[in-house]
Structure formats: C-alpha cells, structure tokens
A and B are shown apart, each in its own frame.
Chain A
C-alpha cells in the first residue's frame, strides 16, 4: 500500500533549480535510502516532504491525503537532522516528552513513561536526566531519533544522520536505525553509508542535479548500477 506519493516536485532557490521534477513512491514499511553528490537536492527533497521547504510545484500525498494542515502533516512525519538539533536546555527525557505532552495532550507521567520506553529502545536507559551537552554525538543523535518517534509517526525522514559523528559512533546510530526498519517503520534515509544501505534498504535512489536518476534494490544498485553517473559516484565513495 502506498504511504507516500510525490509527483513532479520542483523547488527553486532564486534561479537555481534544486529539485527538477521529482516523482517518488514509498510503500508502507519500506526503507528507502537516497544518496548522491553534494548539492544534488537530497536534503531539499526530504525537507519538501515535511514542508520545511515549500515546493514551488508538484503534489505530495501521505496515506492518500494531501497535506493541507502543516502541523498535522509534521506530527505524522518524524525528522532526524544531521546536526541533531536537540533542545540544549532540556534533558534527554524532556526532549523526548515535550512534543507528546504539548501536542498530543499526554499527562506529564504518560509523556515521561513514553520517553523512558523510547530512550530504552535507543539504548539510552539511564541517560534520561542528562542534558544534551553531557551526551556524546552518537547518544545525542539517538535521543533525537527517540524524540521523533515519540510522536508515533507513520514515516521517518533522516538527513545524513551520521555525517556529523566520529567514526566510532556511527555504528550505534545505524544499529538503531536498522532495528527501526526491521520493526516495520517506513523510512527515507539520506546517507552515504553504503554498508547501511546494503544491509537495511529495500531500494536505493541516486540523485543528481535535482532528479532521481536511478532507483533499484541494493543488489542491483551496487552490482549493476543502472546509470553511468552512479557508476562514477560509487567508484568515488567506495574508494575504488
């Protein structure tokens, strides 16, 4: 069943065309990885999906419904940022609990319980009372994942969630994401972690100059790259 359908997305910044007519379908429970060179429009694409950017034209439906109400849309779509963007003045628990409490009307006890459960799920039981500044980058990013999950989204968006992390912390974040996908979460992940893509993706898309120019299941994507520029891109990042 189709969860997300995007048709003809166009986004310009001034005269620069960042998205040049993107079509995208995502099935429920599907895990899509998107990669591509810097500036190809990956961030712009996922930011258009939760309308942090307003596309200039094109249509997006989620669960068959167009997103007329911004807030309602964003409550159903979780987002994880490259720079974590945790609220620095709130503890890990408060970071996770604040949205369900203020937006879904959960009581403090209910919201805190939900936060504890989610922090446990991202392997951070025992860190609930720490401020973000007291957590490592990998831990902060896992809190950010828990925070997004706290709204019980139908879709999770990740924009290069491990690019700001030291190598030894990348794994712990990716493990959480793999598990999330195995649990049936629909997700779109912008990343250059090709090991993760191979392990966890149902399909991998390759963007270039504002278009998705190739889209294939991992095996085909790596073994028989369906686009010449993708071949070059893979050579570069896989260090061949």
Chain B
C-alpha cells in the first residue's frame, strides 16, 4: 500500500463521488415520496384494481431481477421507444425504478400493519376512509417506515455503483478507470470503499437525526394531524 498514491486517488475520486452523491440524492428525493405514496395507496386498493396490478407488477419485476438487468433495461429499451434522455437522467430513472419498487412494499406493509381497530375508531367517529387514512393511519404508519426506509437509503447508494455499466462516470466507474490505468487494484478499492462508507455513514447520521427529531416532537403523528 502506497499512502501517497492513495491520497492522490482520493483526490481524483472526489468529483466522481460528487456525481454519485448527486445521482443518489436525486433518486432518493424522487423514489422515497413516490414509493411510499404508491405503497400507501396500494394498501387501500383491492387486488383486482388495474392500478394495483400495475404496481404489483412493478414490485415483482424489481424484486425478481438483478439491478444490472434493470439498468440495462432502461439503457437499451428507452432508445428503442424513441427516447434518448441524457445518461444522468437514465441513471436516476433506473435507481428510482428500483428503489421505489422496494419502498412501495415498505409503504404498503406499514399501512397494513396499523391495527384494524384504528380504522374502526376513526370511521366510527364519522371520518371517511380518506380522512381516516390521512389523519390517523398514515401518521402511525410513517413511524413504522422510518427504519426500513433508512435501510433502503444505503441500498440505493450501493446500487448506484452498478450505473458504471452504462458508462456513467460515477465513483465506481472512476475507480475502475484509475485502477486499470495504473494496474493497482487494492489501493483503489480501499479508497473507493472508504468513500462509499463515509457517504452512507453520513446519510445514516442525517437520517438518525431526523428520526430523533420526529420522535422527540411527539412523533410524525403531530406533523400529520396537529401541527397545522
């Protein structure tokens, strides 16, 4: 291991790390609200509803295929449909498709895990289903989503490394390029791994702080029903 070389690699990997962060954070910002909202909606739909079938098919595909296949699907199929978005958009799109698929399940499971008695209490008071969901069920479900969503955040960041296959010059692609140009693999791998770790660790610290604030403030419940 050559510390000087490693320091040099570290510096050269910072811009691609920036792209990895940008890809991941953009994808997160879209996939989390989209996935959770679709999941909560799905929990309320009958299984036979066309939208339910579509959502289920999406989740089934995402869970049943490797992310590599999903990324290639976006990369090769979109152009066949006459769409040629920039690489960055394709990358974000693939990550969103993948992560939202998992987060749909998180949202759905969280809503369905709220006891039936909570629905009945709200309905018996005279709230309609929509208002019951928004006022009482979602705030309770939201608490149950926090843990699994945090886990999904780190999954998504790791998944972004696979975007190297569509020549997006993100962290992993850049690291590959450096190691094959210099034929020095172990140092580069160590630096690359360290950068992923720092990023994921940083995100998880932020997520923990958010979680703490939510529970200290009496929970998401109040954000949902009493804050406004």
Which residues on A are within 8 Å of B, measured CB to CB? 50, 52, 70-72, 74-75, 77-79, 81, 83, 85-90, 94, 98-99, 102-103, 144, 147-148, 151
Contact = CB atoms under 8 A, between A and B. Distances in A.
Main secondary structure of the interface of B (DSSP, over half): helix
A74 B126 contact: yes
Contacts of B135: 98, 102
A13 B120 CA distance: 18
Contact of A90 (B115, B220, B225): B225
22 contacts: A52-B124, A70-B128, A74-B124, A74-B126, A75-B125, A79-B120, A79-B124, A81-B124, A83-B117, A87-B121, A89-B139, A89-B143, A89-B218, A89-B219, A94-B225, A98-B135, A99-B125, A99-B126, A102-B127, A102-B135, A144-B121, A151-B126
Contacts, number: 67
A85 B221 contact: no
Interface residues of B, number: 24
Contacts of A75: 125-126
Nearest to A157: B124
Q: Which of A78, A102, A151 has the most CB of B within 10 A?
A: A102
Contacts of A102: 127, 131, 135
Contacts of B131: 102
Contact of A103 (B127, B220, B225): B127
Nearest to B135: A102
Given A81-B124, A83-B117, 5 more contacts: A81-B120, A98-B225, A99-B127, A102-B135, A151-B126
Interface in B84-124: 115, 117-118, 120-121, 123-124
Nearest to B221: A89
Contact of B226 (A72, A85, A94): A94
A50 B221 contact: no
Given A89-B139, A89-B219, A90-B221, A81 B125 contact: no
Q: Which of B118, B121, B123 has the most CB of A within 10 A?
A: B121
B136 interface: yes
A148 B139 CA distance: 21
Given A71-B127, A89-B221, A90-B221, A81 B139 contact: no
